[in-house]
Amino acid sequence: MQGDQRLIDTLNELLADELTAVSQYIVHAEMSEDWGYDKLHDRSKRRAIDEMGHAERLIGRILSLDGVPRVGVLNSVHIGADIPQQLENDRVAEAEAIVSYNKAIALAGEVLDHVTRELLVAILQDEDRHLDEIEEMQGQVEQLGLANFLIAQLGPASAAVTA
């Protein structure tokens, strides 16, 4: 099925955002693991896996619209030197993703592509959950202090993420 070119272009922009997020989250996850914060590693890795799933779904939809997925395009990856900066960089990325998905949902509605719209709404819900999780951790850093927050991040990794 031939899709609207504006929508295909928008889906490719979202794909670049998702692939960028995967890279950012994986690096942050590995830094956390290197520093011994296994629980924080798990959370970042889970978000990276979610973003990979989003990328996969976007690629599938682009292909179904007879578009060509542009998987070689990444935006700027913002790696934080410490946990507070990582959380802030991740928060900004998620907040920007939410804006982008809302615009894409409006465009999909405008061109009457309700299948794409439903896909984008589902991904938007995940992005909103990611933002809530990151803001919750930032609130914990603020309320508990960084040292106490980081102590809480020590411990064994989750078998579900590392398996």
pLDDT tens digits along 135-152:
999 999 999 999 999 999
Q: Which amino acid is at 158?
A: S
Helix (H, G, I), strand (E, B) or coil at 4: coil
Report the candidate in 23, 71, 70, 83 with the shortest Cα–Cα distance to residue 47: 23
CB atoms within 10 A of CB 39: 16
Report the candidate in 82, 126, 111 with the shortest Cα–Cα distance to residue 1: 111
**What is the rounded distance in angstroms from the CA atom of residue 61 to the CA atom of residue 81?**
36
pLDDT score of 124 more than 60: yes
Q: Is 102 exposed, middle or buried (0-12, 13-18, 19+ CB in 10 A)?
A: middle
pLDDT score of 160 more than 90: no
Instruction: Tell me the pTM.
Output: 0.90
Apex 75 CA angle, 71 and 78, nearest 5:
130
**What is the rounded distance in angstroms from the CA atom of residue 67 to the CA atom of residue 72?**
15
**What is the rounded distance in angstroms from the CA atom of residue 121 to the CA atom of residue 137?**
25
- Output the furthest CA–CA distance in the chain (Å, rounded): 54
pLDDT score of 162 more than 50: no
Confidence of residue 131 (pLDDT cuts 50, 70, 90): very high
pLDDT score of 83 more than 70: yes
Confidence of residue 1 (pLDDT cuts 50, 70, 90): confident
